Amino acid sequence: MGGTFQRLVNQGHDVHVAYQTSGNIAVGDEEVIRYLSVFKHLIREYDPDNKAALDKLSSILHHLFHEKGSDDVDIPEVRFLKGRIRREEARSADRYVGLPHSHVHFLDLPFYETGKVKKDPISEKDVVIVKNFIESIKPHQIYVAGDLADPHGTHKVCLDAILDAIDLMKDDDWFKDCRIWMHRGAWMEWEIDHIEMAVPISPEELRQKRNAILRHQSQMESAPFLGDDERLFWQRSEERNRATANMYDKLGLASYEAIEAFVEYKPLRDNIEG
């Protein structure tokens, strides 16, 4: 939904982005090694007496080079660094889109922080974090990833946390003006007979979307969880958006470079009138 995101920002809407998880297991060790090596050079250049910092960085590097096995869970220090790499890549992409720093939020839901591919089930704590965030914004629209083909299942768990939170708020007065739109991620698109909102994307908007995706450098060729599709994320995204536009064209509708598709989620309300 990067093109829709860019358009909402360009039109001056009050857009906020919330990242539900740290994403730390989806960063390769080589990314951490590269950043740690840069940090060491910076400290040696500008703070050479900071022995504690140098020793800590050297210890983490030694662990990655000589101690960690291929199936070992990352130590907390490595998970922290991987999470911060993902966080700063997200900030970079949001800056490119034009989103203010204060409108970028990181929820760090607890269910994700196992250090393993298998996550904990969502808990009340996860749902409350999501609920409190949404209530702090009281948005008119919520866009969520409805991609259940995510190879390690995180999108499904994140979606469940959002839907559980929505279930707690659905009868609040402010929520009556809120609509929830589900988009799909890198692995598949909605069936055309299910699509309820189609957003046309111009060639320039598609290029901007690609540039924003490329800000997530750790998620390119070396990302640990690419799935069975060997294409890069931006390639999958563009080809899928173009394929959706082509389907609309074949149906005799307007022709566009690309289209992003959404399905509306409508919660069942407890106080149905009539």
Task: Note whether residue 33 is domain-resident.
Answer: no
Instruction: Identify residue 198 by its one-letter amino acid code.
Output: A
The per-residue pLDDT for 274 is: 44
Q: Convert the pLDDT of each residue in 98-120 to its tens digit.
A: 999 999 999 999 999 998 888 89
Give the strand order in the sheet containing 197-201: 141-145, 179-183, 258-265, 197-201
Q: What is the CATH number of the domain that holds 123?
A: 3.40.50.10320
Full residue range of the structural domain in which residue 256 is found: 2-25+86-265
Q: What is the pLDDT of residues 160-204, one digit of tens each?
A: 999 999 999 999 999 999 999 999 866 678 999 999 999 999 999
Q: Which helix (H) or strand (E) holds 141?
A: strand 141-145
Residue showing tokens 């809407």: 13
Residue whose structure tokens are 């740690």? 36
pLDDT of residue 33: 98
**pLDDT surpasses 90 at 230:** no
Examine residue 194 and state whether it is found in any structural domain, yes or no: yes
- Average pLDDT score, the chain: 92
Domain assignment present for residue 56? The answer is no
Residue 81 maps to a domain = no
Q: Has residue 239 been placed in a domain?
A: yes
Residue 47 lies in a domain: no
Please indicate, yes or no, if residue 68 is contained in any of the structural domains.
Answer: no
| pLDDT tens digit sequence for 43-71 | 999 999 999 999 999 999 999 999 999 88
Distance (Å, whole) CA 177 – CA 163: 17
Considering the domain boundaries, does residue 228 fall inside one?
Answer: yes
Q: Would you state the structure tokens that stand for residue 112, as one six-digit string?
A: 């994700």
Poorest-pLDDT segment among 11-15, 32-36, 52-56, 184-188 = 184-188
Domain total for the chain?
1
Question: Rg for the chain (alpha carbons), in Å?
Answer: 21
